[in-house]
């Protein structure tokens, strides 16, 4: 069983190795950028999920709900926004964080591979 898995992995690596030169002028023009993007994806997606589900989305949704309920500074509206916004933000933050972290990793990892900017997910601007 071990030999079949190892043989399959080796065959896949050889096939990918033969196909990579055909992309030399396109997407894979820089090996450093490709590896930088790959490592940034591994770090930024879990980081984006954690930040968005535990901080950014609950905070943003609670504030938007308080505004939608009529008065963003009113105690009742803020409590209702908090009670509904925190659980909703946690649930919504997981896919939103994965998408946002992946997009940031792809952009920053390709343009500035292995830089500090490519490994730190900033707060979304919307």
Question: Could you report the per-residue pLDDT of 11-23, keeping only the tens digit for each?
Answer: 666 565 555 544 4
Distances (CA, A) of 25 to 31, 76, 115: 12, 59, 24
Give a yes or no: residue 69 inside a domain.
yes
Number of domains in the chain: 1
Q: What is the pLDDT of residue 17?
A: 54
Give a yes or no: residue 112 inside a domain.
yes
Give a yes or no: residue 3 inside a domain.
no
Q: What is the pLDDT of residue 117?
A: 83
Give a yes or no: residue 125 inside a domain.
no
Give percent of the chain with pLDDT exceeding 90: 35
CA distance 60 to 86: 9
Q: What is the pLDDT of residue 83?
A: 93
Q: What is the pLDDT of residue 67?
A: 92
CA distance 20 to 11: 14
Supply the range of the domain harboring residue 113: 29-119
Q: What is the pLDDT of residue 24?
A: 46
Longest alpha-carbon distance in the chain: 67
Section 28-38 average pLDDT: 72
DSSP, collapsed to helix, strand or coil, labels residue 12 as: helix
Q: What is the pLDDT of residue 115?
A: 80
């Amino acid at each position: 069983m071990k030999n079949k898995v190892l043989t399959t992995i080796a065959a896949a690596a050889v096939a990918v190795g033969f196909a990579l030169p055909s992309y030399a002028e396109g997407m894979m023009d820089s090996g450093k950028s490709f590896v930088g993007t790959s490592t940034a994806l591994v770090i930024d997606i879990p980081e984006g999920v954690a930040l968005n589900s535990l901080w950014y989305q609950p905070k943003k949704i609670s504030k938007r709900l308080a505004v939608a309920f009529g008065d963003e500074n009113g105690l009742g509206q803020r409590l209702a926004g908090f009670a509904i916004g925190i659980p909703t933000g946690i649930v919504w933050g997981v896919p939103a964080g994965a998408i946002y972290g992946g997009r940031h990793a792809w952009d920053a990892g390709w343009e500035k591979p292995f830089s500090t900017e490519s490994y730190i997910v900033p707060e979304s601007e919307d």
